[in-house]
């Protein structure tokens, strides 16, 4: 056994079906008396449901969360915090809402209770990505790690099939990069492989029957494991590219991850053979990159950057920005190689 360091993260997790019923008790346990309830505009009804569970007179709702956590939205939410005297945060939704909660917590250190309705996984991490002036910047700070997460399988039953697919691939990406992370360790390796396995098993079943409770439970369990991996070890090329593209072109977050994932795996396979072997084993295939590509196709997720709105004439500009700040990756990161990767991903071209 090689020497390693494992940093466990202290987030309380409640997992099951109909666990949202425990929300009011958890709010009290955190000592929150006037929570700010966060959601996207689309999920305002879920925010209202949360407010009803804890007492509408005590809660304040802000339904302005959007993708990539732009700082101007955070500033608007901060005005509400200051005006109402909110003493805690409750976020219900996906990565956009969790991101806004974290951005507020970074500035206030208010306690957070997160109720995920997708498979984003960011609720399990001390990581925040914020966008300003077309550039997404990622930071790690323990102030943004949520105190409590309530996973309620029943809340994912109405998640549209397409969002289930791309959100699940986003979660898998966390685990894939954890397997070749510079600070990987045996504990996160186990969680990563099992997380990939659970999601790869569940997602095709969800596509066939979105109300399959067992598959939904497996997917949420897998997303939780992958989220822990994201929080415990560093990420590399895949996440750097996705943050670059998302910040530059305002591309949909989960869809960007789903497109880039097979290409990033292919880029790193020779430099990280042990990770590639674990990914392939979790997918029950021989080739990790091709297996991820085939899973993407099987569940109907987008296969090209062109399909999700990236302007092809700006591939070179994206490659330059992606390599502008050096970062660790198993395989060397060069502008020509990244340009080639992005060109393939833009066209959706694939070569084994």
| Three-state secondary structure of the chain | CCCCCCCCCCCEEEEECCHHHHHHHHHHHCCCCCEEEECCHHHHHHHHHHHHHHCCCCCEEECCCCCCCEHHHHHHHHHHHHHHCCCEEEEEECHHHHHHHHHHHHHHCCCEEEEECCCCCHHHCCEEEEEECCEEEEEECHHHCCCEEEEEHHHHCCCCHHHHHHHHHHHHHHHHHHHCCCCCCHHHHHHHHHHHHHHHHHHHHHHHCCCCHHHHHHHHHHHHHHHHHHHHCCCCHHHHHHHHHHHHHCCCHHHHHHHHHHHHHHHHCCCCHHHHHHHHHHHCCCCHHHHHHHHHHHCCCCCCCHHHCCCHHHHHHHHHHHCCCCCCCCCCCCHHHHHHHHHHHHHCCCCC
Among the candidates 138, 156, 174, a domain finishes at 156
Domain match, 213 and 167 both? yes
Nearest C-alpha neighbor of 225 from the set 233, 110, 341? 233
Q: Which domain holds residue 108?
A: 12-156
138 and 32 within one domain: yes
pLDDT in tens, 147-160: 999 999 999 999 99
List pLDDT tens digits, range 22-54. 999 999 999 999 999 999 999 999 999 999 999
Tell me, what's the pLDDT at 53?
94
Residues 70 and 132: beta-carbon distance below 8 Å: yes
The reply to whether 324 and 189 lie within a common domain is yes
Q: What's the pLDDT at 19? A: 98
Both 140 and 66 in one domain: the answer is yes
**Neighbouring-strand partners of residue 36:** 60, 89
User: Looking at the structure, do residues 187 and 58 belong to the same domain, yes or no?
Assistant: no
Q: How high is the pLDDT of residue 278?
A: 98
What is the chain's pLDDT, residue by residue, as a tens digit (352 residues)?
Answer: 778 888 888 899 999 999 999 999 999 999 999 999 999 999 999 999 999 999 877 889 999 999 889 999 999 999 999 999 999 999 999 999 999 999 999 999 999 999 999 998 999 999 998 988 878 888 999 999 999 999 999 999 999 999 999 999 999 999 999 999 999 999 999 999 999 999 999 999 999 999 999 999 999 999 999 999 999 999 999 999 998 999 899 999 999 999 999 999 999 999 999 999 999 999 999 999 999 999 999 999 999 999 999 999 999 999 999 999 888 999 999 999 999 999 999 999 887 7
pLDDT at 133: 83
CATH of the domain at 107: 3.40.50.1970
Residue 263: CA count within 13 A, CB half-sphere: 27
Contacts of 325 (CB under 8 A, 6+ apart): none
At 329, which CATH number?
A: 1.20.1090.10
Phi, psi (degrees; rounded to nearest 5) at 36: -100, 120
Strands 60-62 and 35-38: parallel
User: For residue 324, is it within any domain?
Assistant: yes
In a shared domain, residues 112 and 146: yes
Q: Is 7 within a domain? A: no
The answer on 175 and 152 residing in a single domain is no
Alpha carbons 70 and 134: distance in angstroms, whole number:
9
151 and 170 housed in the same domain: no
Whether the CB-CB separation of 176 and 238 falls below 8 Å is answered with: yes
Asked if the structure places residue 309 within a domain, the reply is yes
Q: Does the residue 287 lie in any domain?
A: yes
End position of a domain, from candidates 98, 129, 156: 156
Q: Within a domain: residue 352?
A: no
In a shared domain, residues 302 and 324: yes
The answer to whether position 2 is within a domain reads no
Q: Are residues 142 and 203 in the same domain?
A: no
* Pair (176, 198) in one structural domain: yes
- Is 186 a member of any domain? yes
In total, how many domains does the chain have?
A: 2
- Residues 40, 43, 49, CA angle at the centre, nearest 5°? 125
Residue at which a domain ends, from 156, 184, 205: 156
Asked if residue 34 and residue 85 are part of one domain, the reply reads yes
Residue 234 within any structural domain of the chain: yes
Return d(Cα 186, Cα 188) in angstroms, integer: 6
- The pLDDT of residue 55 is 87
């Amino acid at each position: 056994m090689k020497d390693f360091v494992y940093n466990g993260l202290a987030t309380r997790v409640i997992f099951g079906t109909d666990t949202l019923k425990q929300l009011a008790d958890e709010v009290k346990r955190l000592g929150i008396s006037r929570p700010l309830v966060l959601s996207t505009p689309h999920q305002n009804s879920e925010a209202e449901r949360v407010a009803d569970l804890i007492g509408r007179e005590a809660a304040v709702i802000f339904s302005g969360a959007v993708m990539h956590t732009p700082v101007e939205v955070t500033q608007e939410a901060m005005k509400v915090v200051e005006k109402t005297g909110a003493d805690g945060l409750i976020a219900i939704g996906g990565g956009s809402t969790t991101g806004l909660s974290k951005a507020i917590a970074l500035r206030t250190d208010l306690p957070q209770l997160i109720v995920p309705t997708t498979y984003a996984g960011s609720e399990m991490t001390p990581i925040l990505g914020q966008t300003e002036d077309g550039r997404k910047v990622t930071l790690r700070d323990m102030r943004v790690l949520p105190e409590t997460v309530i996973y309620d399988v029943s809340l994912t039953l109405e998640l549209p099939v397409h969002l289930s697919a791309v959100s699940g691939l986003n979660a898998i990406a966390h685990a894939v990069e954890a397997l070749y992370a510079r600070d990987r360790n045996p504990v996160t390796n186990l969680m990563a492989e099992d997380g990939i396995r659970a999601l790869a098993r569940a997602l095709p079943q969800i596509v066939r029957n979105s109300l399959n409770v067992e598959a939904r439970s497996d997917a949420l369990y897998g997303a939780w494991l992958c989220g822990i991996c994201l929080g415990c070890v560093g990420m590399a090329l895949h996440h750097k590219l996705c943050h670059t593209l998302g910040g530059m072109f305002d591309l949909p977050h989960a869809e960007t991850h789903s497109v880039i994932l097979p290409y990033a795996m292919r880029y790193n396979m020779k430099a990280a053979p042990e990770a590639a072997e674990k990914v392939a084993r979790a997918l029950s295939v021989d080739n990790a990159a091709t297996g991820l590509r085939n899973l993407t196709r099987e569940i109907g997720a987008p296969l090209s950057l062109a399909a999700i709105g990236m302007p092809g004439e700006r591939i070179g500009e994206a490659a330059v920005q992606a390599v502008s700040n050096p970062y660790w990756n198993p395989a060397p990161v060069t502008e020509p190689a990244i340009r080639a990767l992005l060109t393939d991903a833009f066209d959706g071209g694939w070569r084994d």
